Amino acid sequence: MKLLDELALALGDGLITDRDVTEGYRHDQAIWAAGGWPIAVARPSSTEEVQALSRWATRHHVALVPRGAGTGVAGGATAVNGCVVVSFERMNRILAIDEASMIAVVQPGVVNGDLKAATRERGLWYPPDPSSYAVSTIGGNVATNAGGLCCVKYGVTADYVLGLEAVLADGTVVRTGGRSRKDVAGYDLTRLLVGSEGTLAMITEITLRLRRRPRPPTTLVATFGSLEASGRAVAEIVRSVDASLLEIMDRTAVRAVEGYRRLELDIDAAAMLIAQSDAAGSDELIRMQAACEGAGGTVVAVTEDEGEGQLLLTARRLALTAVERLGTVLVDDVAVPLPRLPEMFRRIDAIAARSETTVATVAHAGDGNLHPLVVFDRSDPAAEARAVATFEAVMAEALELGGTITGEHGVGTLKRGFLERQLGPAALALHHRIKDAFDPAGILNPGKVIAPRGGAGPGGA
């Protein structure tokens, strides 16, 4: 294809057109976001190559779909027909770790876990830790503003991004923010780009704030006779202490994990709460224990052994993998105000019973972020329809309780239809105007977050 010959001159062996290879770049982990067929996969190795790619795409009106490791579950990295998927796997260098300034500068393809390991060697710490931290990339984390298990105390990705280098659709390079921890010069373009899911610009360099490594945490585990009771315990803990981790698994999730890997978990409890404190002294643990007991905890145990604590966290991190053995899983992601957490648990149970659909719920409970895992038999059309209805009903209930349709996974394509319900028409129209300002031709990740206006958007030749 003559069109691609021109692009190959700029990218060399960074351009893939083999259909068998491009198959692996068509979609992320969102099972309902069916991927279109790209005409090529571009793997740039520098900002200059990203610029050349953008200019080529603008000239020929070809859509570009940026991609990290493909671990997303909202369809944010799903290809559209005729597009070029832009994989940042070659831009995977840690450019600097500045111990004096406590910052790191990285390319978007750096794996979250690799950055953690590199900073740990310097006595520093990069906190955001999505469940996919061992394989997901910093660029993908920035694109979705990923959270993770420790965000209840230490925040999400946006809280650590000090500056960005990004390439606009026309090839213009912009730099936002910098290395200063405080910077209010002009509009906060850094925050705008974080969480934009590749729809406004392609991020090519990221400056991140680091922290000192915290002390080894003490871990508490408590079981409850109901999810609502565990939610009440979380609400009281958050009011009284700064726990460094607060995670909940319901009975279905616990049983799935125990069936997958024997960890001697209590499979009869309705809910298991895992909490940690990395504060010095025992006062936080005393208050956390009291909150769990006051909410009706059936068993409350504490361990200062770091290995035992990590074993409990392994149970939480294995939840999705274990539940996937029960059937096809549709991962939901909603968040509600903390006082409404017990009620949201109750409503999820009611939705599951009403729709006759298995739902295993895990939650970053300390900030009200729930992940109901909807399980079904994909070979059964009726079961699939009930699963879709369950997925949508969970979002509707979260909105009714004053929450959001996504706490950390992003909108992608799966939740785009619910975005206006949350934002309202005026805010959605503003989203379109922002998109037009950054990407007037609509070539960057079209169809994600907001629907294209006036048609399906650009494709290929």
At residue 434, the pLDDT reads 98
CB 444 within 8 A of CB 408: no
> Both 153 and 49 in a single domain?
no
Q: Residue 83 falls within a domain, yes or no?
A: yes
Residues 234 and 275 in one domain: yes
176: CATH: 3.30.465.10
Same domain, 372 and 405: yes
Q: Are residues 116 and 77 in the same domain?
A: no
- Asked if residue 40 belongs to a domain, the reply is yes
Residues 80 and 54 in one domain: yes
How many helices (H) and strands (E) the chain has is answered by: 16, 19
CA distance 395 to 419: 10
Assess if residue 113 is contained within a domain: yes
Q: Are 198 and 444 in contact (CB under 8 A)?
A: yes
Statement to judge: residues 342 and 307 lie in one domain: no
- Does 332 share its domain with 315? no
- Domain check: are 247 and 298 in the same one? yes
* CA 321 – CA 331 distance, rounded (Å): 12
pTM of this prediction exceeds 0.85: yes
pLDDT for residue 30: 85
Q: Do residues 158 and 184 share a domain?
A: yes
Residue 191 inside a domain? The answer is yes
Count structural domains, the chain: 4
Query: Which of 322, 338, 370 delimits the end of a domain?
Result: 322
Q: Where are the alpha helices (DSSP H) in 172-305?
A: 189-193, 227-240, 251-260, 283-294
Residue 367 lies in a domain: yes
Last residue of a domain, one of 322, 353, 384: 322
CATH of the domain at 360: 3.30.70.2740
pLDDT of residue 306: 86
Task: Identify whether residues 276 and 382 lie together within a single domain.
Answer: no
What CATH number is given to the structural domain containing 11? Answer: 3.30.43.10
Q: Are 341 and 235 in contact, with CB atoms under 8 Å apart?
A: yes
Range of the domain at 43: 2-87
- pLDDT score recorded for residue 102: 97
pLDDT per residue rounded down to tens, the chain (461 residues): 688 989 998 898 999 999 999 999 999 988 777 789 999 999 999 999 999 999 999 999 999 999 999 999 999 999 999 999 999 999 999 999 999 999 999 999 999 999 999 999 999 999 999 989 999 999 999 999 999 899 999 999 999 999 999 999 999 999 999 998 888 999 999 999 999 999 999 999 999 999 999 999 999 999 999 999 999 999 999 999 999 999 999 999 999 999 999 999 999 999 999 999 998 777 889 999 999 999 999 999 999 888 888 888 899 999 999 999 999 999 999 999 999 999 999 999 999 999 999 999 999 999 999 999 999 999 999 999 999 999 999 999 999 999 999 999 999 999 999 999 999 999 999 999 999 999 999 999 999 999 877 655 576 54
Is there a domain that residue 427 lies in?
no
Residue 334 inside a domain? The answer is: yes
Mark whether 374 and 309 lie in a shared domain.
no
Q: Select from 258, 293, 322 the last residue of a domain.
A: 322
Q: Do 207 and 229 fall into the same domain? A: no
Query: 162: Cβ–Cβ under 8 A, 6 or more apart, which residues?
Result: 103, 177, 178, 179, 180, 181, 183, 190, 207, 208, 209
pLDDT for the residue 455: 52
Cα separations (Å) of 124 from 100, 119, 120, 209, 243?
11, 5, 5, 10, 20
Q: Is residue 222 part of a domain?
A: yes
User: CA end-to-end span of the chain, whole Å?
Assistant: 9
The alpha carbon dihedral of 129, 246, 346, 250 has a sign of positive
